[in-house]
Amino acid sequence: MKNAVGRAVAHRLFWPLVMLVVLLAINVVAVPGFLSITVNNEGHLFGSVIDILRNGAPTLMIAVGMTLVIATRGIDLSVGSLCAIAGAMACSIILGSPTPNAVGTVTVAVLVALALALVLGLWNGFLVSVLGIQPIIATLILMTAGRGIAMLITEGQILTVQSDPFKFLGSGFIVGIPVATIVAAVILALVALLTRRTALGLLIESVGINPEASRQAGVRARGLLFTVYALSAVLAAIAGLILTSNQTAADANNTGLFIELDAILAVVIGGTSLNGGRYSLTGTLVGALVIQTLVTTVYTVGIPPIATMVFKAAVVTAVCLLQSPTTAAALARWRTRSASRAASPRPGEAVVSR
């Protein structure tokens, strides 16, 4: 029994799951019906849990791409700016069309926004893999310039869009489930299948663990880096489109602001190392849920908005400390001592030899 408990505590998802349960318990105490899910008159699922899944979907999408980037020993700080660029481009096309409510117009706007994000993601990959620029610097360039690009697209204005097909991306429902939640779940499933059912995941891990050894083994690290940065950019664009759709406006300054930090925190909470190598998409999912539940808890408990970032930092710090190697080593020593005490004879017991 003790060994089973020790293994459970040693699992990298133990403390994030504990923190998630604690946050949910706090919300239940503050609002007794917090976990209840109802169906409204339109047949849509309604409740605080549904809100967490819907509002956390953009963070999860970006965190999935960030997980693969970090697994290659990189980082992508430009995802927030890419959210703003994608939203600005889509809204600009929709507003410039004589038929903003047409499905075809919205489809073209979305595809153009995704294509632009793909090009910018390939640019990040080019800087990292071809020019050899450190990922934090390479993506910081687009992080800084991206808001300016979005401002140029919107001409410095907040573009308000009244388009039902576009609004459907952020606030629509399919079979009672929010569209944003469905899109995030499909993305997570597809990336998991692609990386765990093919050799791609193993190649990404090998590049992250030892790029030089991977190169000598014949792994095309340059192509992998292009792929992960392009995928990260496209997923950020999808998240940006959902955020913009939910706001019904393109705000170059505020869309996706600081979302790159939430995505990185979700990846780290999920157990993926910033040193590259092994990663966990399941852990990223748990981390994204912790981040969004944490934000919801702030509003539920009534913590002043000015202290939101401090509260978030305290909780994330607690989870990271519990996951630290020092904590793991201390728990390992405790399990060893417990096993030794259990194996040693108790006072008064005779040792039978055969």
pLDDT for 354 equals 45
pLDDT for 190 equals 97
pLDDT for 142 equals 95
pLDDT tens-place values along the chain, 354 residues long: 556 656 666 677 888 899 899 999 999 999 998 999 999 888 899 999 999 999 999 999 999 999 999 999 999 999 999 999 999 999 999 999 999 899 999 999 999 999 999 999 999 999 999 999 999 999 999 999 999 999 999 999 999 998 999 999 999 999 999 999 999 999 999 999 999 888 888 899 988 888 777 877 888 888 899 999 999 999 999 999 999 999 999 999 999 998 999 999 999 889 888 888 889 999 999 999 999 999 898 888 888 877 777 877 887 788 777 777 787 777 778 777 776 776 666 555 555 554
pLDDT for 320 equals 75
Structure tokens at 240: 């940006």
Full set of structural domains in the chain with CATH: 2-333 (1.10.3470)
Structure tokens at 311: 């509260």
- Tell me which amino acid residue 216 is: Q
pLDDT for 5 equals 59
pLDDT for 89 equals 97
